Amino acid sequence: MKKTLGQLADELGAKLIGDNSAVVDGCASLDKARSNELSFVYQSKFLSDLKKTKAGVVILKEEFHIHCPVNALVVKDPYLSYACAASLLTFDEYEGDFIHQSAVISDPELVSKNCRISANVYLGKGVILGEGCFIGAGCVVEDNSVIGAGVRLKPNVTVYANSQIGNNVILHAGCVIGSDGFGYAPTKNKTWTKIPQIGRVVIDDDVEVGANSTIDCGALGDTYIQKGVKLDNLVHIAHNVSIGEHTAIAACTGIAGSTVIGKHCTIAGAVGIIGHLNITDDVHITARTLVTRSISESGAYSSGTPMQKNKDWLKNTARFKQLDKITKTIIALRKAGRD
């Protein structure tokens, strides 16, 4: 998508220093950008790249402009403005009314206008698609699921029956929405009786779910992913979890059943959160933390131990097994010292 720098300045609310009529049609890093590409800088460590850049225009803060050899778009938050500019320049190839002949659509009259449905898609009975959706090749949406407007399903996504998906949601390839929760009742013979999982997944507007992530349906009632939540790849959300607005969860994290997470939380990669907890708003959890109790106070939380050379670690980890004993020795020593 081509834009003049004048257009970009208007759309970003930026101050243009340079050629109003110059045109860019893509983005690249400072060191690789050519004269038809936009770049950006937001950290001083990239100033040496800025000085040598051949980009058509650079988004930057006022204070960095002195180092910029090319056109500049001066803004307060270059990182955010770059995100907006890149969206304006990146052509969305998915637009347009098109249904591939190999797609199997049980109820075509429930597909709104301007949808693009790729090869080998299956939409079950009663599936409603809002306007302007893209459904990638190989996606399966089971019966009676409702999908909002402007939704993008990348290839090979599965949406189980009765799921509710809001507007402008993005589901990346291979993710699974609405799979059965892990619910069984133990029997006297130490076997498991399956508890039918008859709730739904409800996903609000502007959610993004990463590749091969899985969100289970509720056992009874719903699993609820609220507005603007962002989930990375290979994330597991169990039945009846609720995730508050604009919370972001990085890859390989798993959240067990019925846990409620507040809004504006940032949960790093490979975190585990056990079931039936309450995590308040504005909590940050660092990578690989295991959360075993509710968190009622905003702030940062962690668990784990630091990486070391294996030979040092072997000694320390062996001592961990004695930590209670060690502590009791110290208490005894201190007591002895006082006597």
Task: Identify which of 219, 282, 211 has the alpha carbon closest to the alpha carbon of residue 256.
Answer: 219
Asked if 274 touches its own copies (CB under 8 A), the answer is: yes
**Residue tagged 């939540």 (tokens):** 229
Min dist. Cβ of residue 21 to its own copies (A): 24
Quick one: which of 23, 47, 260, 287 contacts its own copies (CB under 8 A)?
287
The 109-148 site mask, x for binding its own copies (CB under 8 A), equals ---------xxx-x-------------xxx-x-xx-----
Min dist. Cβ of residue 73 to its own copies (A): 15
Task: Identify which of 179, 182, 275, 270 has the alpha carbon closest to the alpha carbon of residue 232.
Answer: 270
* 21 vs 296, beta carbon nearer its own copies: 296
**Residue tagged 């005894």 (tokens):** 332
Quick one: which of 252, 258, 262, 267 contacts its own copies (CB under 8 A)?
252
Q: How many residues does the chain have?
A: 339
Beta bridge partners of 194: 184
Quick one: which of 26, 54, 107, 278 contacts its own copies (CB under 8 A)?
26
Q: How many residues contact its own copies, by CB under 8 A?
A: 127
Q: Measure the N-to-C terminal CA separation of the chain; round to a whole number of Å.
A: 81
Is there a catalytic annotation at residue 276? no
- Strand ranges across the sheet with 272-273: 104-105, 122-123, 140-141, 158-159, 176-179, 214-216, 236-237, 254-255, 272-273, 290-291
Min dist. Cβ of residue 90 to its own copies (A): 4
Min dist. Cβ of residue 316 to its own copies (A): 4
Q: Provide the phi-psi class of 302: left if phi over 0, else alpha when psi is between -120 and 50, else beta.
A: beta
Asked if 63 touches its own copies (CB under 8 A), the answer is: no
Active-site entry in 239, 246, 276, 284: 239
Asked if 94 touches its own copies (CB under 8 A), the answer is: no
* 20 vs 290, beta carbon nearer its own copies: 290
